[in-house]
Copies of this chain bind each other. A is one copy, B any other.
Amino acid sequence: MAVEIVYRSSRDPEQLFMDKAQADRHDKMLELAETLGEVLQKAVPQLGEQLAEEVSIYMARHRDIFAKAFKNNPEVLTELDSSGAA
Q: Which residues of A contact B (CB under 8 A)?
A: 31-32, 34-36, 38-40, 42-44, 46-47, 51, 54-55, 58-59, 63-64, 66-67, 69-71, 74-75, 77-78, 80-81, 85-86
Contact = CB atoms under 8 A, between A and B. Distances in A.
Contacts of A34: 74
Nearest to A45: B85
User: Binding site of A, secondary structure by majority: helix, strand, loop or mixed?
Assistant: helix
Number of copies of this protein chain within its complex: 2
A68 to B, nearest CB: 8
Given A59-B70, A70-B66, A81 B32 contact: no
Nearest to A85: B43
A71 to B, nearest CB: 4
